């Protein structure tokens, strides 16, 4: 319910004083070349790089091929576009665990680390943006405070990844043993932080992923006739990153639009109708391309829509044999 309310408020904030005819006319501003380039850089650069990254992060849970990681990233995009509350993350975790017969708690740990690193990069982008753009004090505070909190969270995750947990005794209550087991298996998924070399690889790869995103956003801005500069792209990605992290209706409806308008209109004083046009049509491009890639990946994985829904509603599983437990 909270997600629906936030989405409704976001749509009201964006479209309350916008002329529909003018909004549709703004589609004529779109230049196909840079838009195609933006999609190529996103899917051929960022998503491919993220697939390699996910495969690396999950190596402590078991071997996950890059192609498999790519398809389940796409399936997660599709699920996020049709299910509320970012259920695509759950779908991706359960799908990979079932497909590769891995321990779901360890896979959850690896994907949680991926999400933490994404949020850390969003915080870094926000901090950099505060030095390059006229950021309002509220957004500046969020960027600085959030970046600091996420950096601390990363350090905590690195510490937890190096901890060993003893097996619970038979005298312990079942719930205590279950919690101990889940926590131990979850931290096994943080195995990519167990050495300095791995940490350097992880941080370097997530930085490369977001460089692809910045490049794709610069091209996207160019395709809409907007200032195609790094500061604008950074602020826009920061606001979008915060916006889509909030609970919302499927496909980030409302929160995506509000975040884009906030960045373009409120920060850079771009005409609101132009900012709304970008938010609306850029959202359509993202949702349609993500849904198409997810649908194709479903077919390639031999999954049905009902199985996708089941993956988003799975309960807490029993431990299964996995690489992290047998070594």
Helix 137-161 crosses helix 230-245 at what angle (to 10 degrees)?
70
Find all residues with CB under 8 Å of 74, minimum gap 6, and list them: 47, 290, 293, 294, 296, 297
| Containing structural domain, residue 276 | 2-326
Contacts of 117 (CB under 8 A, 6+ apart): 154, 202, 203, 206
Q: Which tokens hold the place of 35?
A: 């838009």
Total of domains in the chain: 1
Q: Which two tokens stand for residue 19?
A: 């002329």
Residue holding tokens 């350090």? Answer: 155
Q: What is the C-alpha separation between 289 and 223, in angstroms, rounded?
A: 16
- Cβ neighbour number for residue 27 with a 10 Å cutoff: 12
Reading the block at residue 295, the tokens are 């649908």
SS3 category, 314 = coil
Tokens matching residue 67: 């192609």
Cα dist from 279 to 76, 81, 195, 244, 261, whole Å: 22, 16, 41, 13, 7
Closest CA to 171 of 183, 180, 158: 180
pLDDT tens-place values along the chain, 327 residues long? 778 898 999 999 999 888 877 777 777 889 999 999 999 999 999 999 999 999 999 988 888 999 999 999 999 999 999 887 778 888 899 999 988 889 888 899 999 999 999 999 998 888 888 888 787 787 778 778 888 888 888 888 888 777 765 555 555 567 766 777 777 788 877 888 888 899 999 999 999 999 999 999 999 999 999 999 999 999 999 999 999 988 888 999 999 999 999 999 999 999 998 999 999 999 999 999 999 999 999 999 988 777 777 666 654 444 444 443 433
């Amino acid at each position: 319910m909270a997600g629906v309310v936030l989405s409704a408020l976001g749509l009201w904030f964006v479209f309350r004083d916008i002329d529909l005819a003018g909004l549709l006319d703004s589609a004529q501003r779109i230049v196909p070349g840079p838009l195609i380039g933006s999609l190529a850089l996103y899917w051929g650069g960022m998503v491919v790089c993220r697939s390699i990254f996910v495969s690396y992060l999950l190596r402590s849970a078991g071997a996950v091929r890059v192609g498999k990681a790519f398809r389940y990233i796409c399936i997660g995009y599709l699920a996020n576009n049709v299910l509320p509350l970012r259920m695509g993350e759950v779908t991706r975790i359960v799908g990979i665990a079932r497909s590769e017969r891995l321990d779901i708690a360890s896979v959850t740990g690896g994907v949680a680390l991926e999400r933490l690193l994404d949020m850390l990069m969003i915080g870094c982008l926000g901090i950099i943006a505060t030095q390059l753009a006229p950021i309002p004090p509220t957004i500046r505070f969020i960027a600085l405070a959030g970046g600091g909190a996420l950096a601390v969270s990363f350090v905590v995750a690195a510490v937890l990844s190096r901890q060993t947990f003893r097996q619970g005794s038979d005298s312990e209550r079942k719930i205590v043993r279950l919690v101990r087991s889940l926590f131990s298996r979850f931290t096994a998924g943080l195995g990519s932080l167990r050495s300095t070399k791995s940490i350097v690889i992880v941080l370097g790869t997530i930085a490369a992923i977001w460089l692809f995103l910045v490049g794709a956003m610069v091209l996207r801005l160019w395709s809409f006739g907007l200032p195609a500069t790094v500061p604008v792209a950074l602020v826009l990605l920061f606001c979008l990153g915060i916006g889509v992290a909030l609970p919302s209706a499927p496909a980030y409806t409302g929160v995506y639009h509000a975040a884009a308008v906030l960045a373009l209109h409120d920060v850079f004083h771009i005409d609101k109708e132009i900012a709304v046009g970008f938010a609306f049509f850029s959202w359509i491009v993202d949702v349609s391309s993500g849904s198409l890639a997810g649908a194709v990946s479903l077919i390639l994985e031999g999954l049905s829509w009902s199985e996708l829904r089941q993956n988003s509603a799975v309960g807490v599983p029993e431990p299964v044999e996995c690489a992290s437990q047998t070594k």
